[in-house]
């Protein structure tokens, strides 16, 4: 290895030295090569020693160690391109000289080849690209976790101006939610993990970044409709005009199918006439793996009455024809809200008095948004489906299977909505812990005294003794004998004074015959000496 400064002649013909130092070395093919280094000689010599180590790895066909790999990733794009041209960098390291946009395009093709939908792939690719463009990253070596954190924080705090759409003007909206922040971070981390798995990078610079708790910043919390709200929604849709290229009867049938099967809007949109099986005993609907969110073929049962309506609706369609003209995803929420508003208007018109009308207007029944800020959209019908299953007492494992969730916590936590009235009804199922009026204080067993009940102090004195002895002697005959010795209360028996402690009843003495036969039910018989009793009573 030789470190030197190149010389050249300026325009005046004078000999000049280059500002940078150069490193001359022999590569793995024994060819003499030169690479530009730094303006400082010591740093250039350190650079040359790293280059020699890299040449040794290439000559012996050995992988580079982690320290040398990290050093390669910190080099400038021009230096890495020069190393790639002479073959000093292996194929996996040569990929690091590509721009991030090229890597992102390769990443997009890779996740599309895994069987993901084109919509999902485009969304993940665009989020990762927006994040890197926002941070100003051009090369893989530019990716830094601190810059990503700053961009994500700005994403959630800075207000934005929405795009003007048909019939709507631009409006200023607050920063993105924490859920959106997590989506961008998840896409970027997925890309970085892919870079490491493809050996295009040695480590993930975003590995230490964690997602935030979305529960602290819910912007679009859905709610479940009640049974009465559902019936009125179906009735309003049935009698309503055509909306979004769907007749009222078709919208009502789609709502009903969504509530009774939990199918998503995209899945309903993919159904054809051949997706339905109308058997003699069971009718089902099939969602193909390519249209299911979990990428599996699902066959779901249908209610008999709903199956009859579906048969009538599909009877005039070709086998491969689309079953329902469900509008695009950005219009399904508006379609539900129009029908929900019509149902609420009809409900308000049913008020017979002005007071009742005012009370109904103040309620959130059939409203798009309730007092807690929860909204109703098309996906809310799926929430309603799972919530109704929970209210009907369906086992959680069955609920998870019908919801087609891989995690039961998602079924029970996110999609199951419990109202306050239901919590109050659940409390009614608990036992009543309030003390009855006839119940007094129980005996404490302290100092051989008992505490009389709060009421009827003079009653059941002898019964207490009989009960204690019967618990000790399970034999009915012995209980009868003990009961005959117990003091009996009569009308002539005077009540004890309040300031005189109550005398405890004495258990009658045990006879010699009872000493030989041990009480049954407490412990095994003791053999050996007949004068020994295993239960000492006094």
Task: Say yes or no to pLDDT of 464 above 80.
Answer: no
User: CA nearest 465: which of 480, 450, 483, 489?
Assistant: 483
Band the pLDDT of 323: cuts 50, 70, 90.
very high
DSSP 413: I
Rounded distance between C-alpha atoms, residue 132 and residue 8, angstroms:
41
**To the nearest whole number, what is the mean pLDDT of the chain?**
77
Residue 313 C-beta-side C-alpha neighbours within 13 Å? 25
pLDDT at 88: 82
CA 253 to chain centre: 30
pLDDT in tens, 248-264: 999 999 999 999 988 98
Pick 332 or 141 by higher pLDDT: 332
Residue 451 has pLDDT above 80, yes or no: no
Contact 185, 148 (CB under 8 A): yes
What is the C-alpha radius of gyration for the chain, rounded to an integer number of angstroms? 41
The predicted structure's pLDDT at residue 492? 43
Examine the pLDDT at 334 and tell me if it is beyond 80: yes
pLDDT at residue 468 in the model: 44
Handedness of CA 360, 364, 365, 369 (dihedral sign): positive
pLDDT at residue 194 tops 90: yes
Give pLDDT, residue 92: 52
The tokens of 253 are what? 């049938």
What percent of the chain is predicted at pLDDT more than 90? 32
User: What's the rounded mean pLDDT across residues 115-133?
Assistant: 90
Q: At 479, is the pLDDT very low, low, confident or very high (cuts 50, 70, 90)?
A: very low
Sign of CA dihedral 28, 30, 36, 39: positive
When pLDDT is averaged across residues 213-240 and rounded to a whole number, the result is 85
The larger pLDDT score, comparing residue 232 to residue 65, is at 232
Res 534 pLDDT > 90: no
Does pTM top 0.85 for this prediction? Answer: no
Q: Give 261-277 pLDDT, tens digit per residue.
A: 889 898 999 999 999 99
Residue range 18-61, pLDDT digits in tens:
889 999 999 888 889 999 899 999 999 999 999 998 888 888 88
Distance between CA atoms of 156 and 185, rounded to whole angstroms? Answer: 12
Minimal CA–CA distance to 36: which of 87, 77, 90?
77
pLDDT at residue 203, rounded to an integer: 84
pLDDT recorded at residue 190 = 95
| pLDDT exceeds 70 at position 518 | no
Spatial contact of 337 and 345, defined as CB atoms under 8 Å apart: no
In this prediction, residues 87-108 reach a mean pLDDT of 76
pLDDT of residue 130: 93
Round to whole Å and give the CA distance between 251 and 335.
9
Output the pLDDT for position 508.
Answer: 52
pLDDT tens by residue, 277-304:
998 889 999 988 878 877 788 889 999 9
Please, which residues have CB within 8 angstroms of residue 386's CB and are 6 or more apart in sequence?
262, 399, 402, 403, 411, 415, 416
Q: Can you tell me the mean pLDDT for 338-346?
A: 93
**What pLDDT does residue 158 have?**
66
Better pLDDT: 413 or 195: 195
The predicted-structure confidence for 143-164, as pLDDT tens digits, reads as follows 999 999 999 999 888 655 445 5
Number of Cβ within a 10 Å radius of residue 200: 20
Gap between the Cα atoms of 272 and 288, Å rounded: 11
pLDDT of residue 342: 94
Which has the higher per-residue pLDDT, 197 or 422? 197
Q: 47 with 31: CB under 8 angstroms?
A: no
> For the chain, what percent of residues have pLDDT higher than 70?
71
| pLDDT at position 496 | 45
186 neighbors 214 (Cβ within 8 angstroms): no
pLDDT at residue 538 in the model? 42
Q: pLDDT value at position 45?
A: 92
Q: What is the C-alpha separation between 434 and 453, in angstroms, rounded?
A: 16
* C-beta separation of 292 from 415 below 8 A: no
DSSP string, 33-82: EEEE--SSHHHHHHHHHHHHHHHHHHHTT-PPPHHHHHHHHHS-HHHHHH
Distance CA 92, CA 514 (A): 95
**What's the confidence (pLDDT) of residue 418?**
59
Record the tokens describing residue 52, joined without a space: 């020699």
Say yes or no to pLDDT of 328 above 50: yes
Q: What is the secondary structure of 194-214 as a DSSP string?
A: HHHHTTS-SS-TTTT-----G
pLDDT tens-digit map of 48-59: 999 998 888 888
**pLDDT value of residue 163:** 54
User: What is the pLDDT averaged over residues 185-212?
Assistant: 90
Across 123-137, average pLDDT: 93
What pLDDT, on the 0 to 100 scale, is given for residue 159? 56
Mean pLDDT, to the nearest integer, of 455-471?
Answer: 44
């Amino acid at each position: 290895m030789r470190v030197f400064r190149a010389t050249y002649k300026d325009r005046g013909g004078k000999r000049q030295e280059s500002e940078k130092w150069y490193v001359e070395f022999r590569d793995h093919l024994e060819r003499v090569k030169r690479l530009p280094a730094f303006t400082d000689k010591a740093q250039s010599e350190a650079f040359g020693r790293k280059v020699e180590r890299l040449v040794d790895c290439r000559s012996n066909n050995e992988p580079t160690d982690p320290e040398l790999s990290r050093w390669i990733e910190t080099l400038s794009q021009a230096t890495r391109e020069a190393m790639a041209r002479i073959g000093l960098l292996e194929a996996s390291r040569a990929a690091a000289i590509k721009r991030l946009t090229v890597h992102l395009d390769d990443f997009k093709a890779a996740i599309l080849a895994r069987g993901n939908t084109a919509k999902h792939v485009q969304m993940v690719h665009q989020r990762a690209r927006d994040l890197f463009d926002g941070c100003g990253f051009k090369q893989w070596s530019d990716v830094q976790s601190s810059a990503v954190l700053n961009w994500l924080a700005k994403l959630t705090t800075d207000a934005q101006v929405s795009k003007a759409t048909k019939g709507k003007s631009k409006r200023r909206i607050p920063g993105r939610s924490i859920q959106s922040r997590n989506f961008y971070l998840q896409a970027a981390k997925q890309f970085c993990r892919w870079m490491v798995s493809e050996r295009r990078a040695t480590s993930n610079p975003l590995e230490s970044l964690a997602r935030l708790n979305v529960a602290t910043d819910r912007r679009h919390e859905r709610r479940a409709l009640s049974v009465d709200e559902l019936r009125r929604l179906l009735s309003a849709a049935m009698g309503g005009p055509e909306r979004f290229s769907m007749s009222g009867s078709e919208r009502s049938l789609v709502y009903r199918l969504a509530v009774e099967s939990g199918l998503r809007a995209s899945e309903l949109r993919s159904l054809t006439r051949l997706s339905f099986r109308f058997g003699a005993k069971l009718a089902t609907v099939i969602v193909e793996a390519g249209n299911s969110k979990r990428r599996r073929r699902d066959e779901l049962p249908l209610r008999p009455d709903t199956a009859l309506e579906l048969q009538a609706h599909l009877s005039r369609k070709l086998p491969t024809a689309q079953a329902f003209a469900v509008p695009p995803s950005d219009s399904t929420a508006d379609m539900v809200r129009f029908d929900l508003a019509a149902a609420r208007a009809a409900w308000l018109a049913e008020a017979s008095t002005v007071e009742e009308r005012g009370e109904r207007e103040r309620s959130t029944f059939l409203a798009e948004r309730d007092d807690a800020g929860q909204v109703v959209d098309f996906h809310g019908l799926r929430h309603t489906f799972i919530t109704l299953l929970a209210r009907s007492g369906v086992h959680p494992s069955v609920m998870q299977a019908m919801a087609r969730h891989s995690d039961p916590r998602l079924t029970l936590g996110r999609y199951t909505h419990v109202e306050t009235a239901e919590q109050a009804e659940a409390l009614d199922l608990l036992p009543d812990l309030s003390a009855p009026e006839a119940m007094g204080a129980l005996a404490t067993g302290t100092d051989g005294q008992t505490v009389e009940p709060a009421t009827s102090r003079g009653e059941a004195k002898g019964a207490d003794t009989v009960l204690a002895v019967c618990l000790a002697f399970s034999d009915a005959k012995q209980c009868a004998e003990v009961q005959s010795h117990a003091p009996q209360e009569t009308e002539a028996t005077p009540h004890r004074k309040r300031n005189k402690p109550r005398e405890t009843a004495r258990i009658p003495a045990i006879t010699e015959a009872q000493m030989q036969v041990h009480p049954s039910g407490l412990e095994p018989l003791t053999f050996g000496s007949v004068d020994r009793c295993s239960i000492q009573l006094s």
